[in-house]
Each structure stands twice: as structure tokens, then as C-alpha cells.
Amino acid sequence: MIAHDRQKPPSIPSVLVVEPYDDLRAGIVSVLQRRNYVCDAVSTPDAAALMLRDHDYAYVVVDVDAPQPTNELVSSLPAESNIILITDDDNEGDSDHPLLRKPFSRDELLARFVRRSSQGG
């Protein structure tokens, strides 16, 4: 788990990344930190649930194709949560949340955050 100092100015958005694959998780965190997001990152939905109990996040990024099921985690998030789903499945089109299909570029990742911010997130 990557956890960072929770002391941050209120204007800096915080992100929880739920990604089972170490390299992808580290890459996502690196891209977001370079854009001044404060990130926590975990590899399992259970670890994410613990983090969500103690912290409020502006965004939650979840790999829905993780080895451990994530649908319970996603459905337990408040309706106003800014959720971005990562998938390698083309059949996730009925989601209410933005999808980021693997493989994706840094620009595609950041575009999901810009889009959510402009929608009030």
C-alpha cells in the first residue's frame, strides 16, 4: 500500500487508486502526483474499504478487472463520489462511471480527471 501524508490544503484533490498490479498502480500514482493530486494506493478492495473508512477522497480509481471482485466496493461508494473505472473489457458500456480501457495513455488518464472536474467533481 502506498499512503501519503494526509495533511494537505483543501484545494488539492485526493485520490484513492485500487489497482492489483504493482506497476500499473505505481504508474497511475506517479502521473497523478505530477499533477499535484495527493494519492493513496492499495491493491485490494478490502484495503480500499479500510482507507475509505478513514479518509474522504475526491476521486476513487478502481480496476474492475481485478482478481478480487470490486463491484461491492464500487456500489458501496456514495452517489456523489467521482469514480473512474479501469477495465480491459469492452462490455462495460452500461456503467454510470467513466471508463478507462487498458491499455491507456497518461493523457487518457488525466482526461478522465479533467472531465470529472468540469462536471462538478
**CATH code, domain with 50:** 3.40.50.2300
Q: What is the pLDDT of residues 46-96, one digit of tens each?
A: 999 999 999 999 999 999 988 888 889 999 988 778 999 999 876 655 667
Give the model's confidence band at 1: pLDDT under 50 very low, under 70 low, under 90 confident, else very high. Answer: low
CB neighbour list of residue 98: distance below 8 Å, 6 or more residues apart: 83, 84, 85, 112, 115, 116
Domains of the chain: total: 1
Q: What is the CA radius of gyration of the chain?
A: 13
In a domain, 4, yes or no: no
Q: Is residue 110 predicted with pLDDT exceeding 60?
A: yes
Q: What pLDDT score does 35 carry? A: 93
Is 116 a residue whose pLDDT tops 60?
A: no
Query: Which of helix, strand or coil describes residue 28?
Result: helix
Residue 5 within any structural domain of the chain: no
